[in-house]
Amino acid sequence: MCRDHRERARRQLAGLLAASGPLDLVETALWIAAEEYANLDVGQYGDRLRLICAEGSRRVQAISNPFARLDGLRAYLYEELGFRGNHDQYGDPRNSYLNEVLDRRLGIPLTLSILFIELARAAGFEARGVGLPGHFVTRVAYAGRAILVDPFHQGRVISHEDCKQLVARSTGRGWLFRSEYLEGTTDRAMLARLLTNLKYAYLGRSDYSRALTVVERLLLVSPEDSSEIRDRGFLQARLGRPGAAIADLEQYLSLAPDAPDTRSVEGRLVWLRRRLSETN
């Protein structure tokens, strides 16, 4: 039964990613969670979020000032409903599962941004994610006025300079900041970043089996991503599957022959081939 629900969730995810038209980020994120949570009702959680969005929109419908309208949404989501950033357990994988974020009202910058974007769109804002290095924020616009918001820090309004400082604090490399990041990113890129966060959360716990399932889903989002093919190979090796690991690492070298880690990957292949020959 466990395997059946995982396969169903993977099929649903693949179908959403292959469909034409805009990606439904909330539904897609919930199907990612459904692979981990056997009894997750995707429709029920989607309805819960839609109710939150509808109520938030109702509360600010008479407000025309963009900042006041935004403040009404912020007060509802953070002060009344109690959503907040999980500063104490930032690396907890549950922070990357949208069902857990809705249940626990705790999340990381990206998952709280998904919630905030949906709420803002329901309230008449144009909204999209802003993928800063090391941190994630949102960009909303209403009545011709664009505003940057940090959903991880209680939905506070931030400036261009604040974004530069967020990058510097989160990465230690302020020079990574680029003004063009503030134009925003796509929902599909947000999904890839969600999965990447989840991958590193599991790697941090040495849970290589779950990390592998995340990489497999990342390759549904970006099938030609050579770095994920490489990482799938490394994880296959970790899990004692040298044949599958060799196939992935050979494919990586063919896709990225000039990559800076070519020699180390070649060395790993020599070891894997020797191990495979010893077991046959």
Looking at the structure, tell me whether residues 149 and 274 fall in a common domain: no
The three-state DSSP-derived secondary structure of the chain is CHHHHHHHHHHHHHHHHHCCCCCCHHHHHHHHHHCCCCCCCHHHHHHHHHHHHHHHHHHHCCCCCHHHHHHHHHHHHHHHCCCEECCCCCCCHHHHCHHHHHHHCEECHHHHHHHHHHHHHHCCCEEEEEEECCEEEEEEEECCEEEEEEHHHCCEEECHHHHHHHHHHHHCCHHHCCHHHHHCCCHHHHHHHHHHHHHHHHHCCCCHHHHHHHHHHHHHHCCCCHHHHHHHHHHHHHCCCHHHHHHHHHHHHHHCCCCCCHHHHHHHHHHHHHHHHHHC
If one counts the domains in the chain, the total is: 2
State percent of the chain over pLDDT 70.
Answer: 99
* Domain stops at, among 130, 158, 187: 187
Q: Work out the average pLDDT over 243-272.
A: 96
Task: Evaluate whether residue 203 is within a structural domain.
Answer: no
pLDDT at position 280 is 66
pLDDT at position 1 is 43
State percent of the chain over pLDDT 90.
Answer: 94
What range defines the domain where residue 230 resides? 224-279
Task: Evaluate whether residue 214 is within a structural domain.
Answer: no
Residue 71, burial from CB neighbour count under 10 angstroms (0-12, 13-18, 19+)? middle
pLDDT at position 66 is 93
Q: Work out the average pLDDT over 259-279.
A: 92
Q: How many Cβ atoms from other residues are within 10 Å of residue 169's Cβ? A: 11
Q: Work out the average pLDDT over 97-121.
A: 98
Looking at the structure, tell me whether residues 233 and 172 fall in a common domain: no
* Domain stops at, among 139, 172, 187: 187
pTM as predicted: 0.94
* Domain stops at, among 187, 209, 235: 187
Task: Evaluate whether residue 199 is within a structural domain.
Answer: no
pLDDT digit string, tens, across residues 118-135:
999 999 999 999 999 999
pLDDT digit string, tens, across residues 9-43:
999 999 999 998 899 999 999 999 999 999 999 99
